[in-house]
């Protein structure tokens, strides 16, 4: 049985978030005293990964309100860290980090979120890590690897995982693969034949416990960005992340839906490459990342920040959605299915979730997920199409939504 908890809170006060997490723990039948003690033992290395994709609104965003519909709120991170420190009982380590978008300014992000202050809060060491080895200090240079700026990245280094034939990119002609950079040779070499390589940040990958704290948010390339899509932030070498195949379907690409759209896109100032449901590449990359993470035995927990969520043009330009919700669970896949369902999206129509559900991966099916909302079990949660938030998605993604109420 995979239990997932949904609880509601209408503000980001730390005491309110902690009390709501306490309700989630009760739903998941975790202990009253030291609730995360079932997952975290004294001496463990615990990695907490929020969604820190951006440090400011991009100039291309058509509207801008609070950045907290884009990134995880610091009080959700701190509330989780409080419970983690309690479980460690003075022995172990807390690491908080992400591999944000290559153009994010990490110092600006730290100033905005004021996260550095918690480094002295607990009786165990706390480190806050920018996992990126390369950054873009001018958005005009985005995509040009030779113009990126080198930085230390993960102080523990990196670890390469080869999925080989288990990769969902195995068997696909890699010559059209496009990663983060215009220089595609590295992307192609990383996904040719039985070389299906992903280089993870070692601090994160080697941790005893991985706690994911994503934002409840729509995404123009995969439908929604939650725990599994958030694994993009675990990868040190971002050029191994295949986002689309160059071109359009008639020439075996999925960057754009048609030749006309492709030609228009070449002239557009703001490009939406790969941002349509016919992108048959990026969901495979997402599925690969989850398989890569699961190759190492570790413990998992997730808290989805949906107090202020994001709808529409995610991941960078969403509109604020006051969902007033925290969703928590011990299984990343099961929690993603529930979170998508809560957004009014059908997980069986989102390719990366659909794939794992069809595989019954780790025993997760819609039938094995038990949902508790406000302390009450909800039977047949995935059949009830009335009890959900109606998140707006851009027009090309309307097919993944449940029927309008």
Interval 29-82: pLDDT, tens: 999 999 999 999 999 999 999 999 999 999 889 888 899 999 999 999 999 999
What is the extent of the structural domain holding 39?
A: 2-158+200-236+282-400
Tell me, what CATH number does 305's domain have?
A: 3.40.50
Q: pLDDT tier at 405 (50, 70, 90 boundaries)? A: very low
Q: Quote the CA–CA distance of 339 and 327 in Å, as a whole number.
A: 7
What's the full length of the chain, in residues? Answer: 405
Is-contact 131 154, C-beta < 8 A? yes
Interval 335-361: pLDDT, tens: 999 999 999 999 999 999 999 999 999
**Could you tell me which residues are beta bridge partners of residue 372?**
5, 377
- Per-residue b/e over 325-346, b at no fewer than 16 CB within 10 Å? bbbbbbbbbbbbbbbbbbbbbb
Q: How far is CA 213 from CA 51, 136, 260, in A?
A: 7, 25, 39
The pairing of strands 215-219 and 93-98 is unpaired
Question: Based on the number of CB atoms within 10 Å of its own CB, is 37 exposed (0-12), middle (13-18) or buried (19 or more)?
Answer: middle
Interval 139-148: pLDDT, tens: 888 889 999 9
| pLDDT number for residue 404 | 53
In a domain, 172, yes or no: no
Q: How far is CA 296 from CA 78, 140, 207, 293, in A?
A: 26, 38, 10, 6
Question: Based on the number of CB atoms within 10 Å of its own CB, is 152 exposed (0-12), middle (13-18) or buried (19 or more)?
Answer: exposed
In a domain, 393, yes or no: yes
Interval 104-126: pLDDT, tens: 999 999 999 999 999 999 999 99
Interval 202-251: pLDDT, tens: 999 999 999 999 999 999 999 999 999 999 999 999 999 999 999 999 99
In a domain, 180, yes or no: no
**Mean pLDDT along residues 268-281:** 90
| pLDDT number for residue 247 | 96
Q: Quote the CA–CA distance of 7 and 324 in Å, as a whole number.
A: 8
In a domain, 26, yes or no: yes
**Mean pLDDT along residues 280-301:** 98
Phi and psi torsions of 107, nearest 5°:
-65, -35
In a domain, 253, yes or no: no
Q: Identify the weakest region by mean pLDDT among 110-114, 251-255, 272-276.
A: 272-276
Question: Who contacts 64 (Cβ-Cβ below 8 Å, separation ≥6)?
Answer: 57
Question: Based on the number of CB atoms within 10 Å of its own CB, is 285 exposed (0-12), middle (13-18) or buried (19 or more)?
Answer: buried
Residue 378 has pLDDT above 60, yes or no: yes
Q: Quote the CA–CA distance of 227 and 102 in Å, as a whole number.
A: 19
In a domain, 334, yes or no: yes
In a domain, 345, yes or no: yes
Q: What is the mean pLDDT of the chain?
A: 95
Q: Quote the CA–CA distance of 98 and 236 in Å, as a whole number.
A: 10
In a domain, 381, yes or no: yes
Distance of CA 20 to the CA centre of its chain: 22
Q: Quote the CA–CA distance of 24 and 304 in Å, as a whole number.
A: 11
Q: Quote the CA–CA distance of 196 and 292 in Å, as a whole number.
A: 10
| pLDDT number for residue 383 | 81
DSSP collapsed to 3 states, the chain: CEEEEEEECCCCCHHHHHHHHHHHHHHCCCCCCCHHHHCCCCCCEEEEEECCCCCCCCCCCCCCCCHHHCCCCHHHHHHHHHHHHHHHCCCCEEEEEECCCCCCCHHHHHHHHCHHHHHHCCCCCEEEEECCCEECCCHHHCCCHHHCEECCCCCCCEEEEECHHHCCCCCCCHHHEECCCCCCHHHHHHEECCEEEEEEEHHHHCCCEEEEECEEEEECCCEEECCCHHHHHHECCHHHCCCEECCCHHHCCCCCCCHHHHHHHHHCCCCCCCCCCCCCCHHHHHHHHHHHHHCCCCEEEEEEEEEEEEEEECCCEEEEECCCEEEEECCHHHHHHHHHHHCCECHHHCHHHHHHHHHCHHHCCHHHEEEEECCEEECCCCCCCCCCCCCCCCHHHHHHECCCC
Question: Which percentage of the chain shows pLDDT scores above 70?
Answer: 99
Q: How many domains does the chain have?
A: 1
Predicted TM-score (pTM) of this structure: 0.96
């Amino acid at each position: 049985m995979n239990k997932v908890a949904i609880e509601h809170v209408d503000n980001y006060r730390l005491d309110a978030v902690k009390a709501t997490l306490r309700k989630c723990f009760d739903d998941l039948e975790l202990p009253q005293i030291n609730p995360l003690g079932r997952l975290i033992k004294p001496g463990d290395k615990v990695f907490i990964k929020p969604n820190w994709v951006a440090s400011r609104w991009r100039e291309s965003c058509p509207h801008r309100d609070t950045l907290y519909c884009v990134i995880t709120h610091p009080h959700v991170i701190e509330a989780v860290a409080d419970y983690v420190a309690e479980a460690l009982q003075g022995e172990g380590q807390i690491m908080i980090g992400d591999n944000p978008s290559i153009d994010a300014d990490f110092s600006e992000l730290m100033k905005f979120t004021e996260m550095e202050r918690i480094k002295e809060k607990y009786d165990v060491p706390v480190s806050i890590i920018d996992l990126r080895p390369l950054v873009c200090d001018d958005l005009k240079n985005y995509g040009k690897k030779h113009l990126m700026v080198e930085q230390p990245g993960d102080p523990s280094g990196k670890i390469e995982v080869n999925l080989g034939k288990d990769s969902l990119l195995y068997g696909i002609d890699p010559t059209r693969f496009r990663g983060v950079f215009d220089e595609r040779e590295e992307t192609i070499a990383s996904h040719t034949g039985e070389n299906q390589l992903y280089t993870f940040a070692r601090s994160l990958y080697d941790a005893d416990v991985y706690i994911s704290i994503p934002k409840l948010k729509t995404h123009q390339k995969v439908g929604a960005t939650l725990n599994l899509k958030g694994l993009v932030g675990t990868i040190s070498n971002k050029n191994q992340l295949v986002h689309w195949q160059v071109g359009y379907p008639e020439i075996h690409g999925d960057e754009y839906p048609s030749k006309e759209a492709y030609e228009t896109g070449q002239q557009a100032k703001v490009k939406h490459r790969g941002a349509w449901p016919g992108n048959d590449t990026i969901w495979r990359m997402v599925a690969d990342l989850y398989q890569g993470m699961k190759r190492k035995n570790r413990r998992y927990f997730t808290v989805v920040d949906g107090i202020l969520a994001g709808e529409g043009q995610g991941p960078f330009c969403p509109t604020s959605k006051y969902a007033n919700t925290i969703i928590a669970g011990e299984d990343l896949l099961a929690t993603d299915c529930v979170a998508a369902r809560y957004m009014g999206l059908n997980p069986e129509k989102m390719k990366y979730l659909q794939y794992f559900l069809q595989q019954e991966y780790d025993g997760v099916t819609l039938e094995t997920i038990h949902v508790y909302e406000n302390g009450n079990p909800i039977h047949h949660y995935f059949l009830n199409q009335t009890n959900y938030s109606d998140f707006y998605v851009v027009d090309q993604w309307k097919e993944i939504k449940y029927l309008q109420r």
